[in-house]
Amino acid sequence: MRGAQAERNMASVDFTGGLMDAVTAQKYKHRLVLERQALLAQMDAQHGGRIGRVEVASESLDKSEDDNAQIQTGRDVAFAINEHETAALNAIAASLQRIKEGVYGLCLTCGTHIPIPRLDAAPHTQRCVACQTRFEQQTA
C-alpha cells in the first residue's frame, strides 16, 4: 500500500525522477536565507533591537503593581511569539541542512517528493501534506 501511495505522490510532482537539481536547490537555498534574514530582522524590531535580560528585568521592576496583569499578558504573548519564531528559524536551518545533504524536497517522514507548489509556498516545509497532517495530530 505504501509503495502505491508513494507512486501516486511522485506522479503529481515536477521532479524528473531523481533528486532535485542543483539550480533548483540553490533557488530554494536563496529563498531560505532571505527568509531567515527577514525573520531575524523582524525579531530585532519587535524586541526593540538587541536587548539583554538585565534590561528586560529592570523594565519589569519599574512598573507599578497595578500593571502586573498587563505585564504578565505581555510576557505570555511575547513568549508565544518567540516560540513560534524559534520554531521557524529551526525549520529554516533544517531545510538548509537538507539542501547541503542533497535530500531537500523529500518528505522527512515517508521519503516521497514534496510537491513543488508546496515548496514554493513554504520552502522550509519538511513533510508532504499527509505526513504533516499526521504529525500535527500526534503533537497536538
Give me the phi and psi of 112, to 5 degrees please.
Answer: -80, 165
116 vs 36: CA distance, rounded Å: 20
pLDDT per residue over 2-55, tens digit each?
444 433 333 333 343 456 888 999 999 999 999 999 988 888 877 665 555 445
71 vs 54: CA distance, rounded Å: 16
pTM score of the predicted model: 0.67
The three cell numbers of residue 84 are 513560534
Provide mean pLDDT across the span 92-113: 94
- Residue matched to cell numbers 524590531: 45
At residue 42, the pLDDT reads 85
Question: Contacts by 61-67 with C-beta closer than 8 Å and gap 24+?
Answer: none
Write the DSSP symbol of residue 114: P
Q: Tell me the one-letter amino acid at 98.
A: R
5 vs 134: CA distance, rounded Å: 15
48 vs 59: CA distance, rounded Å: 13
